[in-house]
C-alpha cells in the first residue's frame, strides 16, 4: 500500500503532538450508505439461497463468511479464518406446556403469559406430577432473592420422575436444571420470580448442552398454577442441542504498530429465525465497507487495524470469547481498543453510544473506555446530532474484551426495547413501538432498515476507526480508572441476548 498525501500529513501531525485531532472527513466521505447497503443486499441474497438464515454453522453463515473473505483478501488484508467449537441449539417445532389435571390448561408458547423453551434444553415429551422446589410464594420484595433449586439439598425428598417447578432467582438456570436432573426430575419448568418486573415468560439460556431433559421458562402465574399441588403436567420440547463448529473471520492491515492494535468487530451470524440484515448485517456491512475503502484509499495506518466478523454471537458471544481466550497476555496488552458495531440501522432508531465512563449508567468499561466514548460524543456534537448513553450490559461482543481489561466502545440503534415519547420527539419514529420491530424475527430483511440511521452511524463508526487507526496517543493514557469498571462477565445477567439467571 502507498501512503497517501492525506495520510502522510496526518501521520506527521500525529508524530508532532498527540493532541492534534485526526481529520476523518475524506474517509467518512468514502463510506456511503449505498456502499453499506450493497453488502446488506448481498447478505439478504445469501440468506434467501440458504433457507432464510445465516445462523452460525449453517450454509448461510458459511457463504456470508466466504463473501467477505474473498473481498478483503483481494483488498490486500492479512486474512485468518479462526474455527472454534460451539454449543448449537435449534427448536424444530414449537414446544408445548399444559396442565392435564385438575384444571386442563394449555399454556401459550412464546407469549408473555405463557412460556418459552430455554436454549440448550434437552428434547423429549414427558408427563408427570408437578412438584415445587423450595419456592418463595409470595415472592420476596427483592429480585434475585429466591434460591429455589440452587442447592442439591433443595431436592431432598423430591420424587424421581416428577416435573420440577422451580422459581427464578439468585443462581443460573443451568445450575437449577442440573440439580433437578440429578434429583431424577423428568422435566423442569423455571417460572419468573414474581416481582413487579418479573412476571412474564422470559427468553433464557442454560448456556451449554449439558442437560438431557426438557427445560422451559414460564410466566410467574403459570408457575403458581403448576406448583399449587396435585397437578399433573405435560412438557414437550422438539430441539437439537449439540456441539458444532463455526468460525471467526479476521482481516488485519499489513502495516501499523502491532503493539497498539485497533480491533473493530461486528458479529456476522443471524438468529436461526431469520436473515439478520439489521442484526447484525448492518454492522457487518459497515465493517466490510470501511475495510475496503481504507485499502482503496491507500491509507497506511499508524496503528494496525484488525477487522473482525465474529461467529456465534447470537448464541452467547462465543466467537469473540473464543478469540479472546486464544490471546496471550502480550496479545491482550497489544490491543489498544475494541470498537463494536452491533445493529446500526434499526428502523425506529435511537442513536446510542456505549457509556464508557459509566457516568450515566453506573457500568463503566475498562480504563480508557471513557476516552473512546468521548470520541463518539464529540463527533455527534460536531454534527449537531443528539445521542443517548447505553450501558455495557454484556449483550454484545465487547463483553469478552472488557472482561480482560481492554478498553471498548461502540454504537447501537436499539433492539427490542420500546421507544419513549421523549425519544420520538428527538429522533422521530413511533413511540410505544420497538426500536427494531423485526428483532430476531424472519422479517429482519433488507427492508428492515433506516437509511438515515445507517448513514449517520456508519459515518460515526468510520470517524472512530480512522481516529484510532491514525492517532499516536494512548487510548487510556489520560483516563482515570473506575471501580465501576471492575464488573466481571460472570456477574452479568446476560449471555449474549438471553438471560442466564
Whole-angstrom Cα distance, residue 466 to residue 7? Answer: 10
Q: Report strand pairing: 303-310 vs 232-252.
A: antiparallel
**pLDDT by 10s per residue, the chain, length 501:** 333 333 433 333 333 333 347 999 999 999 999 999 999 999 999 999 999 999 999 999 999 999 999 999 999 999 999 999 999 898 999 999 999 999 999 999 999 999 999 999 999 999 999 999 999 999 999 999 999 999 999 999 999 999 999 999 999 999 999 999 999 999 999 999 999 999 999 989 998 999 999 999 999 999 999 999 999 999 999 999 999 999 999 999 999 999 999 999 999 999 999 999 999 999 999 999 999 999 999 999 999 999 999 999 998 899 999 999 999 999 999 999 999 999 999 999 999 999 999 999 989 999 999 999 999 999 999 999 999 999 998 889 999 999 999 999 999 999 999 999 999 999 999 999 999 999 999 999 999 999 999 999 999 999 999 999 999 887 765 333 333 333 433 345 766 667 888
3-state DSSP: the chain helix, strand, coil percent, rounded to 5? Answer: 30, 25, 45
Cβ-contact 129, 162 below 8 angstroms = yes
Q: What was the pLDDT predicted at 476?
A: 67
In Å, what is the CA distance from 12 to each residue of 112, 438, 476? 59, 47, 22
Q: What was the pLDDT predicted at 19?
A: 34
Whether the bond into 138 is cis, omega within 30 of 0:
yes
- Give the global pTM: 0.80
Sign of the Cα torsion 43, 44, 45, 50 reads positive
Whole-angstrom Cα distance, residue 372 to residue 392? Answer: 13
Q: Report strand pairing: 163-167 vs 494-495.
A: unpaired
The residues that bridge with 341 in the sheet, in sequence order, are 411
Q: Which residues contact 266 (CB under 8 A, 6 or more apart)?
A: 280, 283, 284, 286, 287, 308, 309, 310, 340, 341, 342, 397
Q: Report strand pairing: 498-499 vs 494-495.
A: antiparallel
Quick one: how far is CA 493 from the chain centroid? 13
Report, as residue numbers or ranges, the catalytic residues.
Answer: 313
Q: Provide the residue ranges of all domains of the chain, joining segments of one domain with +.
A: 5-77+253-496, 89-240
Whole-angstrom Cα distance, residue 379 to residue 92? Answer: 46
Burial 395-430, CB ≥16 within 10 A → b, else e: bbbbbbbbbbbbbbbbbbbbbeeebeeebbeebebe
Domain 5-77+253-496: CATH superfamily, name plus number: Zn peptidases (3.40.630.10)
In Å, what is the CA distance from 481 to each residue of 332, 371, 392, 476? 18, 11, 16, 9
Q: Quick check: do 5-77+253-496 and 89-240 share a fold? A: no
Whole-angstrom Cα distance, residue 50 to residue 54? Answer: 8
Cβ-contact 266, 286 below 8 angstroms = yes
Whole-angstrom Cα distance, residue 389 to residue 267? Answer: 21
Domain 89-240 belongs to what topology? Answer: Glucose Oxidase; domain 1 (3.50.30)
Cβ-contact 391, 361 below 8 angstroms = yes
Q: Map 113-140 to HEC letters.
A: CCEEECECCCCEEEEEEEEECCCCCCCC
From the list 386, 385, 350, 390, the residue with the least C-alpha distance to 373 is 390
Whole-angstrom Cα distance, residue 445 to residue 261? Answer: 33
Amino acid at each position: 500500500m502507498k501512503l497517501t498525501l492525506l495520510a502522510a500529513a496526518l501521520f506527521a501531525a500525529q508524530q508532532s503532538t498527540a493532541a492534534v485531532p485526526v481529520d476523518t472527513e475524506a474517509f467518512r466521505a468514502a463510506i456511503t450508505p449505498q456502499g453499506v447497503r450493497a453488502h446488506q443486499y448481498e447478505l439478504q441474497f445469501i440468506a434467501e439461497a440458504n433457507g432464510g438464515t445465516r445462523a452460525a454453522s449453517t450454509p448461510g453463515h458459511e457463504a456470508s463468511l466466504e463473501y467477505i473473505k474473498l473481498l478483503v483478501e483481494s483488498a490486500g488484508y492479512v486474512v485468518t479464518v479462526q474455527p472454534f467449537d460451539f454449543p448449537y441449539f435449534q427448536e424444530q417445532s414449537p414446544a408445548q406446556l399444559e396442565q392435564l389435571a385438575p384444571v386442563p390448561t394449555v399454556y401459550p408458547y412464546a407469549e408473555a403469559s405463557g412460556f418459552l423453551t430455554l436454549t440448550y434444553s434437552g428434547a423429549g415429551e414427558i408427563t408427570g406430577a408437578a412438584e415445587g422446589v423450595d419456592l418463595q410464594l409470595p415472592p420476596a420484595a427483592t429480585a434475585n432473592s429466591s434460591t429455589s433449586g440452587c442447592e442439591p439439598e433443595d431436592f431432598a425428598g423430591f420424587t424421581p420422575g416428577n416435573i420440577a417447578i422451580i422459581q427464578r432467582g439468585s443462581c443460573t438456570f443451568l445450575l437449577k436444571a442440573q440439580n433437578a436432573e440429578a434429583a431424577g426430575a423428568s422435566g423442569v419448568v423455571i417460572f419468573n420470580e414474581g416481582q413487579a418486573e418479573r412476571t412474564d415468560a422470559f427468553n433464557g439460556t442454560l448456556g451449554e448442552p449439558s442437560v438431557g431433559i426438557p427445560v422451559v421458562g414460564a410466566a410467574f402465574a403459570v408457575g403458581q398454577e403448576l406448583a399449587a399441588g396435585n397437578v399433573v403436567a405435560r412438557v414437550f420440547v422438539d430441539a437439537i442441542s449439540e456441539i458444532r463448529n463455526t468460525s471467526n473471520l479476521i482481516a488485519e492491515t499489513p502495516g501499523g504498530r502491532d503493539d497498539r492494535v485497533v480491533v473493530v468487530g461486528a458479529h456476522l451470524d443471524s438468529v436461526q429465525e431469520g436473515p439478520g440484515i439489521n442484526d447484525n448485517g448492518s454492522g457487518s456491512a459497515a465493517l466490510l465497507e470501511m475495510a475496503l475503502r481504507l485499502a482503496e484509499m491507500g491509507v497506511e495506518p499508524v496503528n494496525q487495524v484488525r477487522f473482525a466478523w465474529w461467529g456465534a454471537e447470537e448464541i452467547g458471544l462465543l466467537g469473540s470469547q473464543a478469540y479472546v481466550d486464544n490471546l496471550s497476555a502480550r496479545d491482550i496488552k497489544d490491543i489498544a481498543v475494541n470498537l463494536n458495531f452491533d445493529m446500526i440501522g434499526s428502523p425506529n432508531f435511537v442513536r446510542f453510544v456505549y457509556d464508557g465512563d459509566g457516568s450515566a449508567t453506573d457500568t463503566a468499561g475498562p480504563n480508557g473506555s471513557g476516552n473512546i466514548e468521548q470520541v463518539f460524543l464529540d463527533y455527534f456534537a460536531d454534527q449537531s446530532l443528539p445521542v443517548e448513553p447505553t450501558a455495557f450490559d454484556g449483550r454484545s461482543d465487547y463483553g469478552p474484551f472488557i472482561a480482560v481489561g481492554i478498553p471498548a466502545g461502540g454504537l447501537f440503534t436499539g433492539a427490542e426495547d420500546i421507544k419513549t415519547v421523549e425519544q420520538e420527539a428527538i429522533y422521530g419514529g413511533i413511540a410505544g413501538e420497538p426500536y427494531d420491530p423485526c428483532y430476531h424475527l424472519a422479517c429482519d430483511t433488507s427492508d428492515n432498515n433506516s437509511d438515515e440511521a445507517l448513514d449517520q452511524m456508519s459515518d460515526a463508526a468510520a470517524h472512530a476507526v480512522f481516529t484510532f487507526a491514525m492517532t499516536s496517543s494512548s487510548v487510556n493514557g489520560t483516563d482515570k480508572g473506575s471501580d465501576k469498571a471492575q464488573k466481571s462477565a460472570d456477574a452479568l445477567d446476560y449471555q449474549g441476548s438471553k438471560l442466564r439467571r
